[in-house]
Structure 1
């Protein structure tokens, strides 16, 4: 019997050793899986952070470009408000030039008014302000404001501007004031 007990004990010890070995193997496998999942998790996190970095860099570039464009627009159209303020004065000078004068003093005064008007127009032109051509042009609602229509005569085409009531002006490609016109219909 003692041999049987010894044999049972030996078998139990062997079973325990086998169980411990398989348990150790299982623990090692679980640790490897945990390490792999941590590596994968870290890799996913790194990929997310790289994507965020690229997006932030792209947003910074877009913001820099947008600011640059806004600065260029501000510089290009900086004289817009001043030009709008001067247009009524130029209109008044042109009305003054339309008056008939009969004496030499009137002619001298008219010449002075013309010089003032020309110097204002030259200053505006150097800032990029131009008059909008209107007379005998085809009506363009983006540049002209039709105040009246008249029947077209034989030498006039339909939608042709036959009279300009007030000059229009534009700054580069931006209309400051449309031309007030009469259009043939």
Structure 2
């Protein structure tokens, strides 16, 4: 065998064409069906993302509204606390006012007693003025129609006429209001 019959490796490589490796390429949709399928998938994905976006916006708006409601509630509670901060003090002062009024009901015979009574009256007047200045007022009860939110019926008596029916005929203890709240209802006798 001659050298020519058996080709050398060098000659073999030169003479023989080696097929090139197939390059991997992304296949682009070539048919209309594939293009429609891809656009349909993208449309579905867009719709899903829009729905999620809408849900997140809704949650955000609800959270914002809840925060605003909490701030409003806090502000209202704070203003109520400020508005009624002296209510407990006023309730504690009312028995002292009652005692001063009872002291004024005692007869004064001599000059010293009259002077003492005058001092008690001045003290009561200044206390009543201070209470009014801070929004605490006496509840009108004498000869007015009975109101269970302002009056506490302690006793009932027969009405002398129809006009007097369900009206207060006697006040046993004064009642007081602080702004729009009843501090203490007036204890009254009501005609039936």
With the shorter chain as reference, the TM-score category is 0.7 to 0.9
- Bigger share in helix: 1
8 Å CA contact retained: 1:169, 1:175: yes
Structure 1 window deviating more from structure 2 (28-37 vs 106-115): it is: 28-37
Distance across 1 between alignment mates of 2:117 and 2:29? 114
What are structure 1's unaligned runs of at least 5 residues?
1-19
Aligned to 2:168: 161
| Superposition deviation, residue 55 in structure 1 | 1.0
Aligned to 1:122: 129
User: Structure 1's 37 and 165: CA in aligned 2 closer, same or farther, altered over 3 A?
Assistant: same
Distance across 2 between alignment mates of 1:22 and 1:112? 107
User: Structure 1's 23 and 86: CA in aligned 2 closer, same or farther, altered over 3 A?
Assistant: same
Structure of higher CA gyration radius: 2
Map 1:1-185 → 2, pairs under 5 A: 25-154=32-161, 157-185=164-192
8 Å CA contact retained: 2:169, 2:190: yes
What are structure 2's unaligned runs of at least 5 residues?
1-26
User: Structure 1's 53 and 155: CA in aligned 2 closer, same or farther, altered over 3 A?
Assistant: closer
Q: TM-score, with normalisation over the residues of structure 1?
A: 0.82
RMSD (Å), alpha carbons = 2.1
Structure 1 window deviating more from structure 2 (62-71 vs 21-30): it is: 21-30
